[in-house]
Chain A
């Protein structure tokens, strides 16, 4: 157990639907990152939150949104789902980004299958 909890582990849904992925960061970590990994692909950055505020945005689709709550857990909302959204979605956390950086701790991921 890495300390980063992602739920659900698996999700199968139909095109056009909306889903919410949840991430609880490791205790003490303030920064949360969301990445998308398609089949046999690398890790594509979606969005980052630090202590409740959005800090960086990648090539995240307008159909996708995220937020980080006061208790530091984060949710990634995916709407109007398309077949191409099928992927493994990882959440990662780290203590505090900046000059004394720390490695990411990744959650086990949510495997989303859109049918």
Chain B
């Protein structure tokens, strides 16, 4: 049930754009996105809820396609500070239609931005 992220790694020059995808084989309730720099804790970027609620962060935005059970993270005009590993975390509803908020994380996408 671990979501699949693609690509595994991206190398960019400053100012270039990137898209990171997160796919689930199971119906999603929400998708979270986090960025982790080497040796540090993951930092929350945004959450996308079923029903289309969306938030943005700086020049980073995301979409949630309920039909495809897929989320995409868009990084525009990348900056050196965007370098790190990006994780999506997926939340599912249990049989009772509720959630305890547990996230299952993808394997991560390593983003490297060069000057």
* Residues of chain A having any CB pair with chain B under 8 Å: 2, 31, 33, 35, 41-45, 48, 50, 55-56, 58, 90, 94, 96-99, 101-109
Contact = CB atoms under 8 A, between A and B. Distances in A.
A91 to B, nearest CB: 9
A1 to B, nearest CB: 11
Contacts of B98: 98-99
Q: Which of B44, B99, B104 has the most CB of A within 10 A?
A: B44
Interface residues of B, number: 27
Given A103-B32, A104-B34, 18 more contacts: A2-B41, A33-B102, A42-B87, A43-B89, A45-B105, A48-B100, A50-B100, A50-B101, A58-B102, A90-B41, A98-B98, A98-B100, A101-B99, A103-B45, A103-B46, A104-B42, A104-B89, A107-B41
By DSSP majority rule, is chain A's interface helix, strand, loop, or mixed? loop
Contact of B42 (A41, A43, A58, A97): A43
